[in-house]
Structures are given as C-alpha cells and as structure tokens.
C-alpha cells in the first residue's frame, strides 16, 4: 500500500511539473499569429465597416494591417497584450484609436476572439463582435 501511495505521489509530482513548464496560450498564439488572416464576416470599426474580403496581417515586430481586398485600403496598427492572462490584445491604430480582441487565440488555421471598438466597450462588455478569421 505504501509503494502505491509513493507511486501516485510521484506521478502527481511529475504531472504538476510538466503542466508548469508547458506552453501557455500567449506563446502558442504568438507562434501562430504572424501571417495573413481572412474573414467573410463584417467587422464594424467606427467609421470603417470591414466585411467580405477583410484581410488582417500580423508580423513578429508587433505590427500589422487590417483592410479589404476589394478597396485596397489598409489601416496600420501596433498590437500588444494588455493583461497578465495574455488573452486580450490591444490594437493601437495610427490615428490614435484602439480596438481590443478579448480571448484572442491563434491556432494553425483559425484566429478568434471578441472584438471591441474601444476601451470603454471592452471594460463594460458592450457591443462585442464575434471575431473569427482563417488562414489560407
């Protein structure tokens, strides 16, 4: 019985250590994020309404663009993580405005979260838009 108890404690210890050192969502998202993403859904960003053909790019230098393939107009932004859970991104646009993607997760071929057009909307959890993009 004592050997079984020691074995179970050892296994618990090994599993605990493995979970401490495994990759977190931030590392996975940052690894998968750079590249070009596409969506067919409409993203209402203030005076911009981005819809079918919206393209979003991220690079490893925390910069990116968002726009539509039909118009060719792209908005430049810088991005960063804004909380310790690394699940909310802030997109800071060159015109001084900002948007927020809560629950930002980038996997191999999917990028998703909830899009908010301002800090106030993000804080109050109002007017959040489901956000889903794919990589081709």
- pTM for the model stands at 0.72
Residue 19 domain flag:
no
Q: Which residues pair with 125 in a beta bridge?
A: none
Range of 69's domain? 24-134
**Considering its fold, how many domains does the chain have in total?**
1
| Residue 6 within any structural domain of the chain | no
Cα 107 to Cα 13, 32, 37, 79, 94, distances in angstroms? 29, 6, 11, 18, 27
Q: Is residue 8 part of a domain?
A: no
Q: What is the pLDDT along the chain (136 residues), one digit of tens a residue?
A: 555 444 334 444 343 333 333 344 556 666 778 889 988 777 776 656 566 678 889 988 899 998 876 667 788 999 998 876 668 999 999 888 899 999 988 888 999 999 998 999 999 999 998 888 898 7
Contact (CB, 8 A) for 34 and 60 = yes
Q: Check which CATH number belongs to the domain holding 86 and give it.
A: 2.40.128.370
């Amino acid at each position: 019985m004592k050997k079984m108890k020691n074995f179970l404690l050892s296994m618990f210890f090994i599993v605990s250590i493995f979970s401490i050192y495994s990759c977190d969502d931030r590392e996975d998202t940052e690894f998968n994020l750079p590249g070009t993403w596409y969506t067919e859904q409409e993203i209402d960003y203030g005076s911009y309404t981005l819809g079918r053909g919206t393209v979003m790019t991220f690079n490893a230098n925390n910069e990116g663009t968002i726009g539509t393939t039909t118009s060719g107009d792209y908005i430049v932004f810088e991005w960063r993580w804004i909380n310790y859970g690394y699940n909310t991104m802030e997109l800071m646009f060159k015109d001084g405005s900002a948007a927020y993607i809560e629950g930002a997760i980038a996997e191999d071929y999917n990028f998703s979260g909830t899009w908010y057009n301002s800090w106030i909307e993000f804080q109050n959890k109002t007017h959040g838009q489901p956000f889903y993009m794919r990589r081709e």
